[in-house]
Amino acid sequence: MEMPQSPAAASAEWWRQAVVYQIYPRSFADSDGDGLGDLKGILSRVPYLASLDIDAVWLSPFYPSGLADGGYDVDEYRDVDPQLGTLADFDEMTASLHGWGIKVIVDIVPNHTSNRHAWFREALAAPKGSQARDRYIFRDGQGPDSAQPPSDWASVFGGPAWTRVPDGQWYLHLFAAEQPDLNWANREVRDDFLTTLRFWSDRGVDGFRVDVAHGLAKNLAEPLEPLGVNGDLADSPLSHGNHPLWDRDEVHDIYAEWRRVFNEYDPPRAGVAEAWVHPSRRPRYASPDGLGQAFNFDLLEANWKADEFLRVITDNLADVQRYGASTTWVLSNHDVVRHATRYALPAEDYLSSTRNAKAWLLSNGTSPELDRGLGLRRARAATLLMLALPGSVYLYQGEELGLHEVADIPAEQIADPAFLRSGGAEKGRDGCRVPLPWTADGPSFGFGTGPAHLPQPAWFGPLSVQAQEHDPASTLALYRQALSWRRKLQAAESLEGIPGTNGQVLHFGRPGGWRSVTNFGPRPVPVPRGTVVVASNPLQDGLLPADTTAWIITAGHRFPGTGRGRLPPGPGFLYCRTGRGSRPSDRPARLPCSPRCRERAAGRLGPAPRVPDRRFGVRLTGAGAGGIGVPEVAIWRTTWWPAATSWRSAVIPAASCIRCRSRTCPCSASATTRPEAPARAVRPERCR
Ligand code: GLC
């Protein structure tokens, strides 16, 4: 069955409001019964992915790897791990996903290779000072016989960031010892990654998730700067470009080169940076001259509190308005405790939701006791809230089943280097990487024909896809319903009006009359007027119960793409790529730009993109399209003009009343063709 490509998927900016589903390939589906998920397993589940109505999948690494860090230790960047399949399998999987209208994003790990990579083996065999060593970061140690590491730098996974090699030198690894850091000042390293980007782009990959994007550029000038307690960027006063290891300005030169490669393709390949940096530093990673998008983990860090969520939303949307990037929303991924579990714990004011959950993990999930039902209820509400926000959303496999974290993996089965290198002071991330349950029973709940590579708990059975498939109250059904409504309701990349909270209820609106309301508090509250189209839990006597989100279509909602509201592409549609110099409301009856707009002067008005440009567009219809009079003009608002936040997508008949928009309204205003912004609909009776 072929799924039609949505207009958004066909656009060069398809990623701006995309729903991306993260697959951790080794734990998704195992086609050959070896306990490890593989590419043929993913292929077999493509119809399932399509049933979720997502726009893209992001695959965590599937490259050959010694698995010292779940595949983030790459042996060879342009191949598939033989345990996971072949390049031919990759091509088949990609073709199938594309056939269903799903884009493919792959993970690129540029900060470090694995210690089994041909370059590192060459470096170990080569002498001090050789070209082979210069691809990595080798240094002599301190003290007599170079016996002390070259600096006090610590690995993110615990222990020193330096390991000694037999000839006495040390190499740097900001993560596990099996993940030697590359030297990005070396031209050969840079060129090789450009080759890798082209290799996957030529195979049809649509985008790249860039691992540890803020780590590549380092200040390695001697003497190496001591960090003492300032190793962790999050806690460090050395942020804002001054830290020797993280988030240095030079890193953006690398991504400018990558962007040039992305733009060699049509549509340009997309990029999303994993950059754990101060929010003020995020926009550069997300700039159109760089990777284009950067993860924003703020929602994932927030506790289940209306004011925390509100702050995250308003801050991030203000940032994107300022910088023109599209934001990203994440509640779960392969590195953090699942959000159903985080919200099942009492919030601690002094800890973010993820840190709080890490502390709980250390007790093997025994203390404090989880309130699983409450956690899932809140997780469903949080997801529905997130899916209503402008920007793109990254979902993590298994969250659509409402899976909780598996906290009691026996120590001998834990694979995460964070556990091993910290001497057990960190439990690690295996608990969210336990293979998915597809069926209610079987040796690995349908993941494969044999046992899975991490132990699955008995409670996975009732949460399996099979168990939820036909249950309309299941979390799977909620995700499907919400994702399908999101596609139908999707509007300009903005909020309408100002989001607000009274401490208990958080509400916001999207253009076109789509509202999301979340009750964070303990008491049921009234639902705003309109039609509830999705709710994360059933309403109670018409009230929104505790820990629940509902989406409401307010009266007058117009579905996008149906000729009113946001317009489908069509002949006679003109748009300006920049829109500089004019407010859309000033010139509804003409081309959208002022004479100051350079694009217009250069005659670069072109046919419409498949989705409206993020700034604004105008469609001339009927006689107007032929240049005689302008009977109808459609405008959608921009994310660039804060002053225009109340502007609605609208179709405004030129000979109609500017207030009630009726063609037959007798009031004097109907003579004008110029609607004043904000063009608020008024009931015709009032107008008369
Ligand atoms: C990123 C990945 C994480 C990995 C680390 C080192 O943070 O998300 O899983 O361990 O990079 O590559």
Residues ≥6 apart with Cβ < 8 Å to 134: 183, 186
β-partners of residue 23 are 59
Smallest CA separation from ligand 1 atom 6, residue: 72
d(CA 89, CA 97): 12
Say yes or no to pLDDT of 573 above 60. no
**3-class DSSP assignment, residue 581:** coil
Pocket mutation for ligand 1, best pick of 105, 212, 394, 430 (most atoms within 8 Å of C-beta): 212
pLDDT tens-digit map of 163-189: 999 999 999 999 999 999 999 999 999
Smallest CA separation from ligand 1 atom 9, residue: 335
pLDDT tens-digit map of 77-136: 999 999 999 999 999 999 999 999 999 999 999 999 999 999 999 999 999 999 999 999
Least confident stretch, 142-156, 251-265, 321-335: 321-335
d(CA 70, CA 594): 54
User: Which of the residue ranges 29-43, 575-589, 640-654, 662-676 has the most confident prediction, judged by mean pLDDT?
Assistant: 29-43
DSSP states of 227-282 as a string? -GGGGSGGG-TT-TT--SSSS-TTHHHHHHHHHHHHTTSSSPPEEEE-----GGGH
Summarize the confidence of residues 618-641 as an average pLDDT: 28
User: Which atom of ligand 1 is least distant from the CA of 157?
Assistant: 10
Pocket mutation for ligand 1, best pick of 62, 175, 216, 295 (most atoms within 8 Å of C-beta): 175
Q: How many CB atoms lie within 10 A of CB 93?
A: 26
Paired sense of beta strands 632-635 and 618-621, if any: antiparallel
Location of structure tokens 């590549």: 216
Say yes or no to pLDDT of 587 above 70. no
d(CA 38, CA 76): 17
User: Which of the residue ranges 57-71, 557-571, 625-639 has the most confident prediction, judged by mean pLDDT?
Assistant: 57-71
The first and second tokens of residue 120, run together, are 């590192």
Smallest CA separation from ligand 1 atom 4, residue: 72
Among candidate residues 250, 252, 242, 239, the one with its CA nearest the CA of residue 292: 252
* d(CA 396, ligand 1 centre) in Å: 15
Phi/psi of residue 532, nearest 5 degrees: -80, 120
| Ligand 1 lining (C-beta closer than 6 Å) | 69, 72, 109, 175, 211-212, 274, 334-335
pLDDT, averaged across the chain: 82
* pLDDT number for residue 232: 52
Catalytically annotated residues: 211, 264
Residue type, 317: L
Summarize the confidence of residues 410-417 as an average pLDDT: 94
User: Which atom of ligand 1 is least distant from the CA of 334?
Assistant: 9
The first and second tokens of residue 498, run together, are 């100002």
* d(CA 204, ligand 1 centre) in Å: 24
Instruction: Flag whether the pTM goes above 0.75.
Output: yes
Smallest CA separation from ligand 1 atom 2, residue: 211
